[in-house]
Amino acid sequence: MRRKPVERLVAEGGQGEGGTLRRSLSMWQLTMISIGATLGTGIFVVLGEAVPKAGPAVTLAFVIAGLTALFSALSYAELAGTIPVAGSSYSYAYATMGELVAWICGWCLILEYGVSVAAVAVGWGEYLNELLDGTIGVTIPAALSAPPGDGGIFNLPALLVVLLAMVFLLGGARESARANTVMVVVKIAALVLFCAIGVQGLRTGNYANFMPLGMAGVSAAGASLFFSYIGFDAASTAGEEAKDPQRDLPRAIMLSLLIVTVLYVLVAAVAVGARPWGAFGESEAALAGIMKDVTGQTFWAVLLAAGAVIAIASVVLTVLYGQTRILFAMSRDGLVPKVFSKVDAKSGVPRANTVIVSVFCGVLAAAIPLGQLADATSIGTLFAFALVNVAVVVLRRTRPEMRRTFRVPLSPLFPAAGFAFCVWMMFSLSAVTWAVFGVWMAVGLVFYFGYGMRRSRLATAEK
């Protein structure tokens, strides 16, 4: 139950084994990191899996998932401005609820970030095939473009996009942020293009049976679509590389969530209006298919597929970045091996950390189907977000005098609402997802009690 003082967390910011992280990211770049980590697979890929659960009411499911994310985003914004460090909710829990809860939160973040990298990479291959088919008339064989269980042997494109992101990250945070900004602009343009063309194919009859599977279907779709909002907290993992984290992090988190939610609802409304809801689920590249149906031409679908390839690659890049920084913070505290906090003195990059995480996520992406990965990611994220809503209330009570550059309005009401939404959506997920989560938690606790508890820097300092 030992807690790490906020002052110590902040004082250690950027310090690693052998080098330090560099403060080079502006508010604009932080916002682009959050949008880059969020806007991608949820709308380009997971939409096709969510519509069969909710029907046209998938737009409502996006709103519910966005509302859940909003309450948690408010709590993240306050804590990011108060404790501007790399560990995100792991560090917030360490300062407020103690080491064991922090470990559990960090373990959930590993599930959130690490597994979502793999899930996103799986969807990338679908759009790459659409692009290849529309440009040169060749596609990657199913055996090499789908994981076992989805008709393939090994998802080679998924592995390649993770390794490509690794190369960018090894170049440095500022260089990666610049590349991400370009990719974010491209993917926003692609979604605006989809709306402009897709609206021409709207049929009011497609909205007629708005909620065919009732509120239970909307709830189930919302729980799956919450995966689409994972990433707005990515800016908080850049706390030790931001130029002015206390001012910029809260702004970046809130602005990115607003932009992403508006785009999601618009695209979902156009998609279900242009195609009967029963026709979704046949392909993970649903938006490209709608463009082809509306225009009768392959050109626009190819253009959208190109945008999606870039969009999903930026998600892989930014989420992989977040994963490495969380492990960096946990390693610096002694809870995971020191190799994850070693920083290259010349580039200011945790190189070994980046390579290990990238290879692991790449292999995972190549071997596991998307649906299982997305739901497992959602439950880990919801659990971590629930803890953040608790942490903001605890810190208000224990350290009321601390300077806060952003304050959650109507606290503790809004944090309580965020906590309740997260718990509700967790219970909307399947029993299989809960079983996977239970096994993951059990493994994490064994690792903590067998390794982290004794090697924690706070524990060694007490001896």
Structure confidence by residue, pLDDT tens digits, 286-333: 777 788 888 888 787 788 778 878 888 888 888 888 888 889 889 988
End-to-end CA distance of the chain: 16
Distance of CA 18 to the CA centre of its chain: 29
Residue carrying the six token digits 């550059």: 405
* Cα angle for residues 37, 41, 47 (degrees, 5° grid): 135
> Which class for 1: exposed (0-12), middle (13-18), buried (19 or more C-beta within 10 A)?
exposed
For residue 211, what pLDDT is reported? 87
Axis-axis angle for helices 58-82, 370-398 (nearest 10): 40
Q: How far apart are CA 130 and CA 127, in angstroms?
A: 5
Q: How do residues 98-123 score in pLDDT, each as one tens digit?
A: 899 999 988 888 877 777 777 777 77
For residue 52, what pLDDT is reported? 84
Q: Are 127 and 285 in contact (CB under 8 A)?
A: yes
Q: Are 98 and 258 in contact (CB under 8 A)?
A: no
Query: Within the chain, which residues score under 70 in pLDDT?
Result: 14, 41-42, 45-46, 147, 149-150, 227, 281-285, 369-375, 462-463
Residue 455 to residues 7, 8, 439, 450, Cα–Cα distance (Å): 21, 18, 23, 9
For residue 177, what pLDDT is reported? 83
For residue 14, what pLDDT is reported? 66
Q: How far apart are CA 13 and CA 239, in angstroms?
A: 8
Amino acid identity of 221?
A
Answer whether the bond into residue 147 is a cis peptide, omega within 30°: no
Q: How far apart are CA 327 and CA 341, in angstroms?
A: 8
For residue 371, what pLDDT is reported? 60
Beta bridge mates, 242:
25
Beta bridge mates, 93:
none
For residue 45, what pLDDT is reported? 65
pTM of the model: 0.81
Q: How far apart are CA 455 and CA 18, in angstroms?
A: 19
Q: How far apart are CA 392 and CA 74, in angstroms?
A: 10
